[in-house]
A and B are shown apart, each in its own frame.
Chain A
Amino acid sequence: MPKAIIDGREIEFEEGETILEAALRNGINIPHLCFNKRLGVKGRCRQCIVEADGRIVASCTTRLREGMHIITDNEKIREYRKINLDLLKSRINTSQILEDEEILEYLEEEGLFEEKLLSLPIDNSSPAIVRNPNICILCGRCVAMCNEQTVGAINYAYRSINTVIIPAFMDEINNTVCSTCGQCTLVCPTGAIREKEDIDRVMEALNDKDKHVIIQTAPSIRASLGELFGLPPGTLVTGKMVTALRLLGFDMVFDTDLGADLTTFEEAHELWHRINNNGVLPMTTSCCPAWIKFMEHFYPDLAPHVSTCKSPHEMFGAIAKSYYARLRGIDPSRIVVVSAMPCTAKKFEAQRQELINDGYRNVDYVLTTREIARMIKKKGIDFNSLEESEFDKPLGISSGAGAIYGATGGVTESVLRTLVWIAGEELGKIEYREVRGMEGVREAEIRIKDKNIKICIVHGLGNARKIMEKVRNKQAEYHFIEVMACPGGCIGGGGQPKSNDINILRKRAMALYTQDKKLKIRKAHENPIVRRIYDEFLEKPLSEKAHKYLHTSYIDRAPKI
């Protein structure tokens, strides 16, 4: 391997490796703001400059060469980095940086320049995300991410000192093709794009003695919440999370895994029905609201392909305000359903007009993993030393099938476990390893009775687009397509702890599969609560009542020119 010298240390590097990559790999920190390898963003902030053979270069764009001498810190470099940072600092309104953002560690010293703060309108239009261009340093990671998702809702506009990142014509983001996936919020170093915070509204509900406030937690957040309290990625914190939510004052702490079991049960029946009755195929999943909004913008003609099943937390909410309300004798108007989700799109979904039953919103508020952590910290709870406790009954019982919903391929595996049972194979397989993994597009063929069920699993909206183009051109010979808007599925959701490192996503997924393995009940249809809800309330899958409470419809958002 070729060698170079960084700060007097001889290091080996791979052909084509940049100075920054090699330095970071060797534990040598070079300050940097814009660099993001996965997105290919580099060379813009100029904070990572170093001296290479006596010349000042950006370490993120300069490839190492054999025998190169690199100095990462000297008086000149410090001078340039200071001016660079101070210029950025003098433009952004640091008082509007709300959280522990990446940039804060850089903003301590006194600046050289008079403040010339940006004062652009803050875009609060979306129920999912807020854009505050006044703290944007124009690194462009969000643009790269939005383009990687093939959404393209935002981009750079104008030039020079007037450069901003905005939707076309400075439209409100809610009036664009934004899928609300929130992947942009994961990569923004300053919080210039972040989730729309709903903490205050939830606190108001919690303080209202008249309200019965339920929180349900998504499958994936128990595998990621710990990271925000310094625990290693992949730590399952289910018990501590439940305790913390109780301490926050929620009347009931339930599990969206139950909602996932309902979705699996209903969706597997829908699929089987379509297969056997010449229904529209392939059928795609519907549990990802960013995927749904994306579909409504770009593929509304293919809406008949999309399962009509509501997403798990919406199913849960619908049941909470109907079946559960009756069971407990609580007027549904007093029930507030809060969803703790890995997702910003769920915030958008919660306010959809289609997701109302008997005059009540299925879900009232959605909090992201990050907001949950923020609430716990604000309350002064020492999360890591909490006792573990269990979900409340009866809506806290769930199966392993629900647990794995959080990872790409999880919904498919859950549906398969139940589909086999519907088809009449009593001793169906439990684990379908062929549908697991992190590849963006995966295919599998599963034999059920006399049928070969062809499956495709995609995550990331760019991959979804590839497959939907095939569907549109009638080249997709699948029965079932699972779509998750976020890379990795919900474990990589836009509301998760900020990271888009694939290794962290893998660890989170692993935690969910481990949880599944440990559970006694691993199939949705074996969840006693699911059976009870049908017996006592919904009658049977795809019944009129099931349709009313568990299914939904879509709208056409395509531009009309």
Chain B
Amino acid sequence: MQIERHTGFNGLRKALSMNPDELIELIRNSGLTGRGGAHFPTWKKLSLARSSQGEKIVVCDAEESEPGTFKDRFILEKNPLIVVEGIAIASHIIEARQAIIYLRGEYSFLEEGIRKAIEEYNKLFGDINIHLIISGGGYICGEETAILNSLEGKRPNPRNKPPFPVEKGYMDKPTLVNNVETLAMLPLIILGDYDPDLRLFSISGNVEKPGVYEARLGITLGELIARAKPIGNPRAVLLGASGGVLRYDPNLVLTMDNIERLGGMLGMNTLIIINDEQDLLQVFKHIAEFFVHESCGLCTPCREGNPRIVDIMEKIIDGTATSRDISLLERLAKYIADTSMCGLGKASTKWLLTALKYFPEVFSNAKSNN
């Protein structure tokens, strides 16, 4: 896998000899976009942060909490050096002297490896002060403005945007927030080793060999899942909890546009395979519970709406749901998606909107039980 390459800080060395504007141009030409799910052009973020005034900060978002997603964990386990190198390159580009790795609390076993990588960097370069901060636990902490609040010692609620972090971020300083994988791509781009179509897929669920797979966008779902060896008859594929759920179709070509056309989102290239022996209703109900547990509680739709979805899912499971409940489910899903404050809130019912579309039988069967 390209991510496992030992670049030995050569990307950083080369970057340091280059003009930041040249580097931004290089990254622009690579087509790299944010691998945290939002796909914002990386060069643009770098360029905005670079043109902001004052002391600047780089934040590496390692709060990977999307269900079914573990590619950042994989990268930090296999190659923390390349991540640190990417952080140093980004810092060089925007002229930051401070960087922070914000690591998911559940990943604290990675702490040692990351600290070693930082030490290595400090021995050889050390011009940037890289801090490692462990999160206290919360899906919302992966939201770029919530991280900033968390680092400032505040409640990790998302902030209203604008201002954007690149203008006013950590302690009101211009801050570049990028995901682990995005930053890890920077040394590869600079060394000319970057393949723009390769992606890391987190594959889990009903497969014999769950894990992180490297594949090209455009591969069919069937071809990719074959490598992980499906168990039984795959019925559904969940694109994480926030990316929606699709019917398993081996011929589905995995591109962002394709998935989006179907109402899903290939944010972090997460694929959870559910076969026909599983109780989809239970899976769905627990996704709803996930969003209840992880709502920050700041805005009404996400805080108050998601628990109502759990209630209705429970009624469906009990067989006490009515058609009014099912219609309410859909109304709630749209309301939450359209009116929530942050991206995570807005995405919290994508699973439901797609489930109602592609698995109506799961809901209608329950209804007829009544």
- Contact B297 A46, beta carbon cutoff 8 Å: no
B159-188 interface mask toward A, CB cutoff 8 Å, 1 = contact, 0 = none?
010100000000000000000000000000
Q: A83: nearest residue on chain B (CB-CB)?
A: B335
User: Would B297 and A138 count as touching, CB distance under 8 A?
Assistant: yes
Residue B227 lies at the interface, judged by CB distance under 8 Å to chain A: no
Q: How far is the CA of A255 from the CA of B354 in the complex (A)?
A: 69
From 48 to 70 in chain A, residues with beta carbon under 8 angstroms from any chain B beta carbon are: 49, 56, 58, 61, 63
CB distance from A450 to the nearest CB of B (A): 49
- How big is the B interface, by class? 20 to 34
A160 touching B300, Cβ below 8 Å? no
Closest B residue to A84 using CB positions: B300
Given contact pairs A46-B301, A84-B335, A160 touches B296 in the complex (Cβ within 8 A): yes
Contact of A159 with B by CB under 8 A: yes
CB distance from A46 to the nearest CB of B (A): 5
**A381, CB-defined interface residue at 8 Å:** no
CB distance from A547 to the nearest CB of B (A): 47
With A and B bound together, what is the CA distance between A114 and B304 in angstroms?
12
Interface residue B18 (Cβ < 8 Å from any Cβ of A) = no
Choose the segment among A37-45, A127-135, A420-428 that binds chain B (4+ C-beta atoms closer than 8 Å). A37-45
Residues in A with CB closer than 8 Å to B297 are 138, 156, 158-163
Chain A residue nearest in CB terms to B341: A43
B-chain residues with CB within 8 Å of residue A112 when the two chains form the complex: 328
Q: Is B292 an interface residue (CB 8 A)?
A: yes
> Does A229 interact with chain B (Cβ within 8 Å)?
no
Tell me whether B341 and A58 are in contact (CB under 8 A): yes
Known: A46-B340, A61-B160, A63-B162. A87 touches B304 (CB 8 A): yes
Q: Which residue of B lies closest to A49 (CB)?
A: B339
**Most A Cβ at <10 Å: residue of B162, B299, B335:** B335
Report the separation of the CA atoms of residues A80 and B296 in the bound assembly, to the nearest whole angstrom: 20
CB closest chain-B residue, reference A159: B297
Interface string of B321-346 (1 = CB under 8 A from A): 00000001001100100111100000
Q: Given that A80-B338, A156-B297 are known contacts, is A163 also in contact with B303, CB under 8 Å in the complex?
A: yes
Cβ 8 A contact of A42, one of B160, B300, B305, B311: B160
Residues in B with CB closer than 8 Å to A509 are none
Q: How far is the CA of A114 from the CA of B315 in the complex (A)?
A: 13
- For residue B85, give the distance in angstroms from its CB to the closest CB of chain A: 35
B95 within 8 A of A: no
Nearest B residue to A33 via CB reads B300
| Pair B338/A159 contact, Cβ less than 8 Å | no
Q: Of B138, B301, B328, which is within 8 A of A159 by CB?
A: B138
**Chain B residues in 8 Å Cβ range of A158:** 297
- A91 to B303 Cα, complex, angstroms: 12
Query: A88 and B339: CB pair below 8 A?
Result: no
- Cβ of B13 within 8 Å of any chain A Cβ, yes or no, is no
Greatest chain A CB density within 10 A among B300, B303, B338 is at B300
Q: Is B5 an interface residue (CB 8 A)?
A: no
| Sample (18) of A-B pairs whose CB atoms are under 8 Å apart | A44-B341, A46-B300, A46-B339, A49-B339, A80-B335, A83-B335, A84-B335, A87-B300, A87-B305, A114-B311, A159-B295, A159-B296, A160-B296, A160-B303, A161-B292, A161-B306, A161-B307, A163-B297
Residues of A within 8 A of B (CB): 42-47, 49, 56, 58, 61, 63, 76, 79-80, 83-84, 87-88, 91, 112-114, 137-138, 156, 158-163
Q: Closest 7 interchain pairs by CB?
A: A163-B297, A87-B304, A160-B295, A56-B338, A61-B160, A83-B335, A159-B297
